[in-house]
Copies of this chain bind each other. A is one copy, B any other.
């Protein structure tokens, strides 16, 4: 069993790359040997790795791209995929995101990212809210 802290470190690296507008770091994070999928909020699905990196180039190169902070990250081990479910806080609201990591060449790399609108974020402390770490 991988230490969940290792997975959360990889997840943090993703959000650091985002907030530092660091396209090279973002490229390092994404898997090279495993099929990849990336679904930005409201978008269709990008499958091709080059298309995914082009989308990150567009997003990180956009001066009006928001800063994101990640909250309540939780790690689920699903076979040899380490799945992180977390909440992304932006100025305009909350998203809920899945970031799935897989081992490649001794590193955890991102093979799946999907972020979608979250109308009832953790701050609301609803009674039907799952416990999050």
Instruction: Give me the interface of A with B, judged by CB distance under 8 Å.
Output: 34-37, 39, 41-48, 51, 74, 76-81, 83, 85, 87, 96, 98, 100, 102, 111-112, 114-122, 128-131
- Tell me whether A78 and B130 are in contact (CB under 8 A): no
Closest A-B pairs by Cβ, 10 of them: A116-B116, A79-B80, A35-B76, A42-B119, A81-B81, A47-B130, A45-B85, A78-B111, A79-B102, A79-B81
Residue of B nearest to A81 (CB): B81
Q: Show 13 A/B contacts (Cβ-Cβ < 8 Å), sorted by A.
A: A34-B79, A35-B77, A41-B117, A43-B120, A44-B121, A45-B85, A47-B131, A78-B100, A80-B80, A80-B81, A83-B112, A98-B114, A114-B116
- Chain B residues whose C-beta falls within 8 Å of the C-beta of A45 in the assembled complex: 85, 96, 130
Query: Which B residues are in CB contact (< 8 Å) with A74?
Result: 47
Q: Which residues of B contact A128 (CB under 8 A)?
A: 51
A37/B85 contact (C-beta < 8 A), A43-B120, A116-B114 known = yes
State the Cβ distance, A45 to closest chain B Cβ, in Å. Answer: 5
Given contacts A48-B130, A51-B128, A51-B130, contact A116 B41 (CB under 8 A): yes
